[in-house]
Structure 1
Amino acid sequence: MTESPIGVFDSGIGGLSVLQALQSALPAEHFVYWADSGHAPYGEKSDVFVRQRSLAIAQHLIERHHIKALVVACNTATAAAIHELRTQYPQLPLIGVEPALKPAIALSRTQRIGVIGTRGTLGSDKFHRLLSSLDGQAEFIVQPCNGLALAIEESTHISASASSEKITALLRGYTGQMGAFGRGPGQIDTLVLGCTHYVFAQNELQTLLGTDVQLVSTGEPVARQTRRLLEAAAQLRSGPAPIAASARMQLLTNGELSGLQAAAQRWLHLPHAACHKADPHV
């Protein structure tokens, strides 16, 4: 199993932000990434639907690609399906993502922390249990952002300026409902990006909120946890010096191939040849 790839999946291109952190932390590993863009976004789908998709993708990655670990690079899928995935595949190292509330507490000075995410993530029992476990440690201002993940997903199909304007308009509307941002008393000084797609809107967010506001995402903690689990299972790939990323990445999508190719080239500097159409029967 040591030579087998690590599976990663998301509802679309958002999980590429996690893949970016994984390839940096695990330079000798091979990866198979599944973008379920034909069913995106998960955040506005039912839990039952998200669980069905998560189980189907996991089964395919295990049976067809013989993965040695699975990273659920989607907050909504983690909230809806991680328990069932662990029950179904107890021997498989499984890593999910969740909004990085604990790291945000350590960073915040005003102890007013914003959290943005999909309605599916922020409305889940898993998120509310996480929030309750941190009661009294900080004040969390939680804001669902309907349509934002989809706008980022679609940004690979339209001009950079037009997509940036649409994303900025959505961000301005949602952050405007949360209150004042900054380092002053009573202001939100830390913002948790509770959807892996939102990492690709960091530039727009930082411009909008100012450099005093810290943005917190989940990619690096997930990469560290993946490494820890593989080390514990003695499944880290041992090999020569790190090989080129394009030689160890296989990206699959059941959406438009051109969209994944554009996203992979823009954010991971991967050639179009690394991207492929996924099995339509999954």
Structure 2
Amino acid sequence: MRTIGVFDSGVGGISVLKEILKEFPNDNIIYFGDSLHAPYGDRSIEEIRRLCLKVSDFLVFDKEVDALVIACNTATGAAINIMQERYNIPVVGVVDNGVNEAINSTSNNLIGIIATPATVKMNIYPNTIFKLAPQNSVFQVECPLFVAMIENGWVDSIESDNLIKSYISKFSENIDTLILGCTHYPLITKYISRYFSGKIVNPAKETSKSLKKIIGDGKENLKYNPSRVFFVSGELQKFKKVAEEFLEQPIEDIRKIIL
């Protein structure tokens, strides 16, 4: 039976997993949340690559997944090319899929991006956008505090509301499309939409559709009972609590592991 591996620096990849489960209800899923090392976005590119390869080697060589989804923008930018060369299975990231949706969504060619410091530093979104649609103007804003707050359980408070407002207010009002350039951010879309009225792009949805085009829908697995296994490198119960809230279903099989 086919197994799809999904990994992120922590709980943010749940936004991608949620879409994967919709598209692939009959496949085994293994999710790895490297919350011990979160956020990746505050680390050097070399360190991000090292962490990514540890996790992906575990999923590919130890767990023998049949496809790998990098459910992290920072990891996608830092390591997807290396992974695609390293493994003989499909490896899909979130950046290209988010870019394609943004290009198709904007009506005035003004695209905003909110992301981690590392993702902004790598310029992976602007570079990809300009390569595909050079007529666009791209504006990036670093949001260094979002990931830690989401990992610890986002609370809708005056402080968190002011934080979102301070980040979004850095964009011109003319920007009509906003890419959530970190997979943690879709988990707080409803709060972000208080201050951004245009099109908000969640790359997770397009990523799951892209994977489906590559590996098929897995309907041949209908007769099997698929498994859902979660590996977490950090605090187990904290991850479980936040992940279940955003996944909107219980997590039964969750295991602590440090690679």
CA distance in 1, matches of 2:105, 2:90: 29
CA distance in 2, matches of 1:206, 1:226: 28
**Matched residue, 1:216:** 201
**Matched residue, 1:56:** 54
What is the CA distance between 1:60 and its match in structure 2?
Answer: 0.9
What is the CA distance between 1:125 and its match in structure 2?
Answer: 5.3
**Matched residue, 2:193:** 206
Does residue 239 (structure 1) correspond to residue 218 (structure 2)? The answer is no
Map of 1:23-172 to 2, 5 A cutoff? 23-89=21-87, 91-98=88-95, 100-124=98-122, 126-134=124-132, 136-155=134-153, 160-162=155-157, 165-172=158-165
Structure 1 unpaired stretches of 5+: 181-186
Larger Rg: 1
CA distance in 1, matches of 2:220, 2:159: 45
What is the CA distance between 1:221 and its match in structure 2?
Answer: 1.3
What is the CA distance between 1:63 and its match in structure 2?
Answer: 2.7
CA distance in 1, matches of 2:179, 2:86: 31
**Matched residue, 1:253:** 232
Deviations 1:72-97 (A, max 9, x none): 110100111111112221x1110111
What is the CA distance between 1:101 and its match in structure 2?
Answer: 2.8
Residue among 183, 205, 213 paired with 1:228: 213
Deviations 1:91-147 (A, max 9, x none): 111011116233223222233221111121122154343133145432222111112
What is the CA distance between 1:272 and its match in structure 2?
Answer: 4.2
Work out whether residues 151 and 239 of structure 2, in 8 Å CA contact, stay in contact via their aligned partners in 1: no
CA distance in 1, matches of 2:90, 2:190: 33
What is the CA distance between 1:175 and its match in structure 2?
Answer: 1.0
- Structure 1 segments (4+ residues) deviating >3 Å: 125-128
Paired amino acid for 1:203: K
Identity of aligned residues (%): 28
What is the CA distance between 1:190 and its match in structure 2?
Answer: 1.5
Work out whether residues 27 and 242 of structure 1, in 8 Å CA contact, stay in contact via their aligned partners in 2: no
What is the CA distance between 1:242 and its match in structure 2?
Answer: 8.7
Paired amino acid for 1:129: N
TM-score, with structure 2 as normaliser: 0.91
**Matched residue, 2:166:** 173
Paired amino acid for 2:194: T
SS in structure 2 of the partner of residue 191 of structure 1: strand
SS in structure 1 of the partner of residue 31 of structure 2: strand
CA distance in 1, matches of 2:132, 2:60: 35
**Matched residue, 1:193:** 180
Structure 2 unpaired stretches of 5+: none
Deviations 1:150-176 (A, max 9, x none): 2211226xxx344xx443222111111
What is the CA distance between 1:258 and its match in structure 2?
Answer: 1.3
- Tell me how large the CA RMSD over aligned residues is: 2.1
Work out whether residues 167 and 201 of structure 1, in 8 Å CA contact, stay in contact via their aligned partners in 2: no
What is the CA distance between 1:49 and its match in structure 2?
Answer: 0.7
Work out whether residues 10 and 72 of structure 1, in 8 Å CA contact, stay in contact via their aligned partners in 2: yes
Work out whether residues 260 and 275 of structure 1, in 8 Å CA contact, stay in contact via their aligned partners in 2: no
